[in-house]
Amino acid sequence: MDDATVAALGLLSEALETTERARGRLYDFHQLTGGADKAVGEAVRLLRQAGHGTEADLVEREVRGADVLPGMWTFEIVEAYDDGYHQRFREVERQVREALAGDRDHIAEAEMKQRRETT
């Protein structure tokens, strides 16, 4: 396989790995936002308990359980990423890799390993 193809496949693989990291960050975002919303619920309860019903109503109406993007909770953002861009990227990377390299994966890394082991 020529060097340009190895380099291109290596970059495509690296980019896919980066999307995996981004996906993890989306799950972090999802879980952190959920935790914040749980704390907001507790704050609303304590505000009511302390006699601050107007403020509790404001927080509950404007923040608790609110969409983080128009019409979307965080789980829907994660699902849209997983089912859209990420799944499409994985499939395209697999198709390109199979067309150019068969079943082989991480070709650039395998070549680097071979060079380092033989020097």
Phi, psi of 52 (to 5 degrees): -110, 60
* CB 101 within 8 Å of CB 9: yes
Question: What residue ranges do the domains of the chain occupy?
Answer: 3-41+70-118
78 in Cβ contact with 30 (< 8 Å)? yes
d(Cα 45, Cα 65) in Å, to the nearest integer?
A: 14
Model confidence pLDDT, tens digit, residues 22-81:
999 999 999 999 999 999 999 999 999 999 999 999 999 999 999 999 999 999 999 999
